[in-house]
C-alpha cells in the first residue's frame, strides 16, 4: 500500500514543524506539497527530501486546494496531512498493511492535539478522529473554503486505523488569534446562514460553557481556559462577520 500512496500537504509559511512532519513520511512513494505563497524556509526545507514534489497555487479555499493537490498526485490513494502533524510509527505500520484493492474504503485516523507542546484532551480537542486516507477515484473533498470534509458515497466503508497523528497547531496566544481571525473570515465568506449580534453572543456563550465545563477545560488550568475563551471568540466573530456581510448586501 505504501508504494501506491501520495501524501498531500498544503503549506504557507510552515517551516516550524515541516521537517518533523516530512521525516516520518520518507517511506511513501510521493509527498506532494501544494504551497500558496510561503515567505519563510518552507520550500527550502521541502526541497531536501527526494520523495517530495513541490507545486504552487494561490489559495482558493481548503476544500478546493486539497482536491487540486489530489488531482496533481501521481497515485490514486491520497493521504492528507497537515504541515504541523507528525505521524506515529504505529500509524505508518497500520497503513503499510492495508489492501490497495479496497478503493471504496476511507480511513480514519486519531489525532492528538497539542497546545505549546502539551497534549490537550479537553475543550472538544479530544477525541479527534479525522478522515484522511482515501482513493481519489471514489472520494473527494467538499468545495468548502473552511471546515472541508470528505464526501462519502453510499458504498463507502469507514475504517479506523491504529496509531496517531500528533498535531501541533498552536504554540502561543498569537497563533490562536491568527487562526481564529482567518477561519472566522472564511466561514463568513462561504456561509449563507442568518446571523445577528444576539445570535453571535449566545452561540459564543454556549461554546465557552460547553468547552470549559462540559468538555472539562477547567481541568487543564491556564491552557483549558485559554482554549475555551479562544473557541468562544472564534464563534462570536464568525457570526458577527457574517452579520456584517449580510448587512452590506441588503
Spatial contact of 1 and 97, defined as CB atoms under 8 Å apart = yes
**Are residues 105 and 65 part of one domain?**
yes
Say whether pLDDT at 113 is over 90: yes
For residue range 12-54, list pLDDT tens digits in order: 999 999 999 999 999 999 999 999 999 999 999 999 999 999 9
**Are residues 111 and 89 part of one domain?**
yes
Q: How far is CA 159 from CA 54, 69, 108, 111, in A?
A: 30, 23, 6, 15
* Residue after which a domain boundary falls, among 128, 155, 170: 170
For residue range 191-250, list pLDDT tens digits in order: 999 999 999 999 999 999 999 999 999 999 999 999 999 999 999 999 999 999 989 876
Domain residues for the domain of 135 are 2-170
* Residue after which a domain boundary falls, among 170, 202, 217: 170
Rounded Cα–Cα distance for residues 239 and 200 (Å): 5
**Apex 127 CA angle, 125 and 129, nearest 5:** 100
**Are residues 150 and 31 part of one domain?**
yes
Residue 123 belongs to domain with CATH number: 3.90.550.10
Residue 18 is inside which H or E element, if any? helix 15-23
Domain count, the chain: 2
- What is the SS3 assignment for 63? helix
**Are residues 215 and 91 part of one domain?**
no
Rounded Cα–Cα distance for residues 165 and 129 (Å): 10
Amino acid at each position: 500500500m505504501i508504494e501506491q500512496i501520495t501524501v498531500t500537504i498544503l503549506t504557507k509559511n510552515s517551516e516550524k514543524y515541516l521537517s518533523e512532519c516530512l521525516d516520518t513520511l520518507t517511506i511513501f512513494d510521493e509527498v506532494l506539497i501544494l504551497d500558496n505563497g510561503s515567505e519563510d524556509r518552507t520550500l527550502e526545507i521541502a526541497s531536501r527530501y527526494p520523495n517530495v514534489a513541490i507545486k504552487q497555487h494561490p489559495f482558493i479555499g481548503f476544500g478546493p486546494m486539497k482536491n487540486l493537490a489530489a488531482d496533481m498526485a501521481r497515485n490514486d490513494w491520497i493521504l492528507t496531512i497537515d504541515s504541523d502533524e507528525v505521524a506515529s510509527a504505529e500509524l505508518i505500520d497500520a497503513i503499510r498493511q492495508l489492501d490497495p484493492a479496497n478503493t471504496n474504503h476511507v480511513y480514519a485516523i486519531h489525532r492528538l492535539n497539542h497546545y505549546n507542546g502539551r497534549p490537550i484532551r479537553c475543550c472538544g480537542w479530544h477525541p479527534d478522529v479525522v478522515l484522511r486516507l482515501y482513493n481519489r477515484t471514489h472520494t473527494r473533498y467538499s468545495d468548502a473554503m473552511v471546515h472541508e470534509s470528505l464526501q462519502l458515497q453510499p458504498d463507502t466503508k469507514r475504517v479506523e486505523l491504529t496509531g496517531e497523528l500528533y498535531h501541533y497547531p498552536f504554540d502561543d496566544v498569537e497563533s490562536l488569534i491568527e487562526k481564529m481571525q482567518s477561519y472566522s473570515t472564511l466561514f463568513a465568506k462561504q456561509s449563507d446562514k442568518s446571523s445577528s449580534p444576539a445570535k453571535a453572543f449566545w452561540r459564543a456563550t454556549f461554546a465557552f460553557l460547553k468547552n470549559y465545563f462540559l468538555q472539562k477545560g477547567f481541568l487543564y488550568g491556564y491552557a483549558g481556559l485559554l482554549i475555551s475563551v479562544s473557541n468562544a471568540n472564534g464563534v462570536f466573530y464568525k457570526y458577527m462577520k457574517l452579520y456584517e456581510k449580510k448587512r452590506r448586501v441588503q
